Amino acid sequence: MSLNADISRMSNFTEEQLAGYVIDAATEVFSTMVMMEVKGEFPLKEPVSRFKCSITGMVGFAGTYSGVISIHCPVALALKITSNMLGMECDEVNDDLNDAIGEIANMLGGSVKQVLSKGGLDVKLSIPTVISGEDYTVNSLSDNDCVVVPFTIEEHTLLVGLTLKKED
């Protein structure tokens, strides 16, 4: 699951640069809004599409660039994240959990969008979409255009993926 060479050339970003933007965005979002320190690692070499006991938040880009930024998080970690964001205990998968993970995806999307579009009008962000379950699969139609960065938080690992395509 590495960035397609054509995509990299057209977008003027290398895989390392995009991974760096994802790491910077996640580090800022988690330190300021979740009060958690995250540690970004090297992008994954192989795709991850199947998730167990997890929650996934996604925000789409459309315009000069199209794509999706996604966060895949084990439910146990998502409960801690939501509790920190709300300042109150969250111990079940509910609307608060979905909303919190969706909002993180939204903030990550906003940060990455600023790199893609200085003005902001030529790239639109979608409203967040959130899915969760005991065992589910998320498939991108263009997995080879995707950068996936793992982050370690306490004993958990969450993934942030960025699928990107420059439109003609």
Partner 1 sequence: MANILIVDDSSTMRKIISRSLRQAGLVVDEIFEAGDGIEGLGVIASGKSIQLILSDINMPNMDGLEFVKTVRGNGNTTPIVMITTEGGEEIIAEAMSSGANDSIKKPFTPDQLQEKLGGLI
- Site of interaction with partner 1 (CB under 8 A): 28-29, 32-33, 82, 85-87, 95-96, 99-100, 102-103, 106-107, 109-111, 113-114, 117-121, 125, 127
3 vs 153 by CB, closer to partner 1: 153
- Which residue, among 142, 14, 36, 124, has the nearest Cα to 80 in the 3D structure? 36
Strand-strand pairing, 65-74 and 50-63: antiparallel
For tokens 């790239």, what's the residue? 123
Least gap, CB of 133 to partner 1 (angstroms): 21
Least gap, CB of 86 to partner 1 (angstroms): 6
1 vs 106 by CB, closer to partner 1: 106
Least gap, CB of 126 to partner 1 (angstroms): 8
Which are the contacts of 31, defined by CB distance < 8 A and separation ≥ 6? 37, 38
DSSP letter for each residue of 96-114? HHHHHHHHHHHHHHHHHHH
13 vs 61 by CB, closer to partner 1: 61
| Whole-angstrom distance, CA of residue 118 vs CA of residue 26 | 19
15 vs 24 by CB, closer to partner 1: 24
Query: Percent helix, strand and coil across the chain, each rounded to 5?
Result: 40, 35, 30
Least gap, CB of 24 to partner 1 (angstroms): 12
Least gap, CB of 139 to partner 1 (angstroms): 25
11 vs 106 by CB, closer to partner 1: 106
